[in-house]
Amino acid sequence: QVQLVESGGGLVQAGGSLRLSCAASGRTLSGYAMAWFRQAPGKEREFVAAFSRTGGFRYYGDSVKGRFTISRDNGKNTMFLQMNDLKPEDTAVYHCVAGARVITSSLRTHSAYDFEGQGTQVTVPS
């Protein structure tokens, strides 16, 4: 079993930055695909960014490309999401997920993952 805990969310003005963290416990994350998804009120869950199981490939949603960077520190069992140039449309609850059997073609699919954190709120006022 893997427990995931997100932190780092908050309120930030448009154009600002935040760094989200996802700390894992219960099992090492090495060999797990990991990703960030977000959900805003009244909207569909949206893929944000992901690492392949090997960690060698990173993928981003179109709306965050060039602004967000996903990274991970396997030694600390932690994943990060650096978010720059934040926009009001980035307002959402951000969840980290992990999965041991996620293939590359499924990295953008929320149901492919086995574990999910409780989420952290990011608010960018318009």
- Give the per-residue pLDDT at 54: 83
Mean pLDDT of the chain: 95
- Give the per-residue pLDDT at 28: 84
- Give the per-residue pLDDT at 111: 97
- Give the per-residue pLDDT at 109: 97
- Give the per-residue pLDDT at 79: 94
d(CA 77, CA 23): 6
Over the chain (126 residues), the average pLDDT of each successive run of 10 is 95 98 90 95 96 88 97 90 98 97 95 97 97
d(CA 94, CA 39): 7
- Give the per-residue pLDDT at 75: 85
Chain-centroid distance of CA 106 in Å reads: 15
Please report where in the chains the tokens 């893929």 appear, as a residue: 47
